Amino acid sequence: MLFHSAKEMILAVLLLLLQINRADAALVGLPGCLTTCGNITIPYPFGIGKGCYFEGFNLTCDFASQPPKLFFGDGTIEVIEIYLTESMMRLRSTLLTALPSEEKELVIGLPPQPSFALVLNQSVLTAVGCNIITNILGDIGPVAACMPLCPVNKTGHTCSGIVCSQASARVQIGGPFTIRISPLKLNGSNSFYDAITNTALLVEQEWLDKHVIELLKFLNPFSNHQQREPMIVPFVLDWSITHDGTKGCLEAKENVSVYQCLSANHVCSDALFNGYRCKCKPGYEGNAYVTNGCEDIDECQHPDIYPCHGICINFPGTYQCKCPKGKHGNAVAGQCISNWATRASFLIGVATTFSIALLILVLTVLLCKLKKRNEKLLRKKHFLQNRGLLLQQLLCFNDDVAGRMKIFSIEELDMATNKFDQTRLLGRGGHGEVYKGILSDKRVVAIKKSWIIVKREID
Ligand SMILES: *[C@@H]1O[C@H](CO)[C@@H](O)[C@H](O)[C@H]1NC(C)=O
Ligand SMILES: *[C@@H]1O[C@H](CO)[C@@H](O)[C@H](O)[C@H]1NC(C)=O
Ligand SMILES: *[C@@H]1O[C@H](CO)[C@@H](O)[C@H](O)[C@H]1NC(C)=O
Ligand SMILES: *[C@@H]1O[C@H](CO)[C@@H](O)[C@H](O)[C@H]1NC(C)=O
Ligand SMILES: *[C@@H]1O[C@H](CO)[C@@H](O)[C@H](O)[C@H]1NC(C)=O
Ligand SMILES: *[C@@H]1O[C@H](CO)[C@@H](O)[C@H](O)[C@H]1NC(C)=O
């Protein structure tokens, strides 16, 4: 490894140490047991050597090969990877080859039940050849079949089905199973196909989708198989724990002495068929099959997965991401806003609303006053126009008239007629209306309200 500076090297060493610490921290296998073979991690219930595995999950590591190889079952099945949380394992497929009209079988030596439930899922049986039938034979009989046919016609050959693949139903495999190639006795078979080699193997569906051309090149029935470079083709198995055919979690929990989800903070889930699986609760990581195997994830140490742009506080099974003091908002999304800014904007908002309301109120009052003033001025004008002053003077100077006459203000008239109520209306004339009025001294009078001003009459 090349480092540009001493600082970089120290950093790399520190990172390495951190990684080692993390591996130590998360329990993978039982204490004192080997947990790796080459670059493959071996989590309990799998294990190597006595006392390191749950019944049936024993593996062997061939340290002699470079890199070391891990084996499962009867010791012939190579393990590529083991997935703990997904309860899955990826194994290396063995190729079964057969010459035309030759019947051949290959036993995949999975461990026998009953501690184990294996489900053939996400894998397909793939066959390349002509006029053969290939089968997967479980303990209950054939579970998948594939029949590549190469029909002939009178003038020559058409090769319609040299390759076929067939998804096996999701089946529980009760221990070892067999892959078989049998020739089909068809009329018209031609010697043209006598030179080919028929092949069959189990392939992981997802892998096949990506590597189909590569695989067909490898399985080319017209090439010499002995000269081929070996190719690593995977198939997958789902695994779960069962005790003498335990159905699922509920049944397994009934007998504490056999229940294998030993860690606190675990969740148990039923397998597709028999058996159950253990996982750590969300917020925990590690191995739920081992005592104290599930450990709290310190989310604050992994901002790449659990982003926090504020103050991160780890709690068992979860974490809290808060904005720093004096700020609030969504700290996870990095949207912390100062409390002062919000308060200020709140105050500005309140003040603005209040000011507008006040302005409207003042304007209304002013308008009202203005209207009243105008009305008063208008009345005064009308009073003058209607020779009101003259009338007033007349009253002032003539005591006789003053005793019998009075000038009423509009307020007094309003009161007397109940604001010129329509029920007080006595009649309508050409110039106005006549209302019945009751004065403050209970005298009943007629009040005329004119609506047109006839200038000529005034003059
Ligand atoms: C182990 O190493 C091989 C090659 O060195 C690589 O193809 C494979 O993916 C590695 N497996 C794991 C689990 O890292
Ligand atoms: C696991 O144990 C069984 C029985 O003891 C043995 O037959 C088998 O070979 C072992 N498997 C591996 C991979 O070591
Ligand atoms: C028979 O084979 C010949 C030669 O390959 C081909 O041209 C013809 O289409 C085939 N006929 C049928 C019915 O498949
Ligand atoms: C196969 O060929 C034989 C003889 O040529 C004939 O008797 C038989 O009926 C044929 N079978 C089929 C399925 O075509
Ligand atoms: C629990 O399982 C053990 C081992 O299989 C068995 O010996 C025991 O009888 C079981 N106990 C109960 C209560 O079923
Ligand atoms: C089988 O495969 C499907 C799709 O890949 C997956 O969703 C399902 O969980 C698998 N079944 C089991 C029992 O693992």
402 and 428 share one domain: yes
Which ligand is in closest contact with the Cα of 115? 5
178 and 131 share one domain: yes
* Confidence (pTM): 0.66
Q: Characterize 55-76 residue by residue with b for buried, 16 or more Cβ atoms within 10 angstroms of its Cβ, and e for exposed.
A: ebbbbebeeeeeeebbbbbeee
Give the end of a domain, one of 309, 333, 364.
364
Check residue 433 and give its pLDDT. Answer: 81
Give the end of a domain, one of 16, 45, 72.
72
Which ligand is in closest contact with the Cα of 171? 6
The boundaries of the domain holding residue 155 are 88-239
Proportion of the chain in helix, strand, coil states, percent, rounded to 5: 30, 30, 40
Residue 12 lies in a domain: no
Is 455 labelled a binding residue? yes
Check residue 290 and give its pLDDT. Answer: 92
94 and 152 share one domain: yes
Give the end of a domain, one of 72, 106, 137.
72
**28, 35, 39, 231, best to mutate for ligand 1 pocket (most atoms within 8 Å of CB):** 39
Give CA 317 to chain center in angstroms: 19
The DSSP line for 414-444 is HHHTTTT-GGGEEEE-SSEEEEEEE-TTS-E
Number of domains in the chain: 4
What is the per-residue pLDDT across 264-317, written as a single tens digit (0 to 9) for each?
Answer: 999 999 988 888 999 999 999 999 999 989 999 999 998 898 988 888 999 998
Residue 246 lies in a domain: no
Check residue 46 and give its pLDDT. Answer: 93
Decide whether any atom of ligand 1 lies within 6 Å of the 40 Cβ.
yes
Query: What atom in ligand 3 is closest to the CA of residue 154?
Result: 1
Counting as low any pLDDT under 70, the low residues of the chain are 1-26, 113-118, 151-162, 167-169, 187-194, 224-228, 342, 346, 382-383, 386-405, 407, 451-459
Decide whether any atom of ligand 6 lies within 6 Å of the 119 Cβ.
yes
Residue 264 lies in a domain: no
Residue 410 lies in a domain: yes
235 and 100 share one domain: yes
133 and 200 share one domain: yes
Check residue 21 and give its pLDDT. Answer: 42
Residue 79 lies in a domain: no
Check residue 83 and give its pLDDT. Answer: 94
What is the per-residue pLDDT across 109-127, written as a single tens digit (0 to 9) for each?
Answer: 888 765 666 677 788 899 9
Residue 82 lies in a domain: no
Residue 376 lies in a domain: no
**83, 123, 173, 238, best to mutate for ligand 6 pocket (most atoms within 8 Å of CB):** 238
Decide whether any atom of ligand 2 lies within 6 Å of the 116 Cβ.
no
Check residue 442 and give its pLDDT. Answer: 80
61 and 117 share one domain: no
Q: Which two tokens stand for residue 347?
A: 């105050």
59 and 175 share one domain: no
146 and 215 share one domain: yes
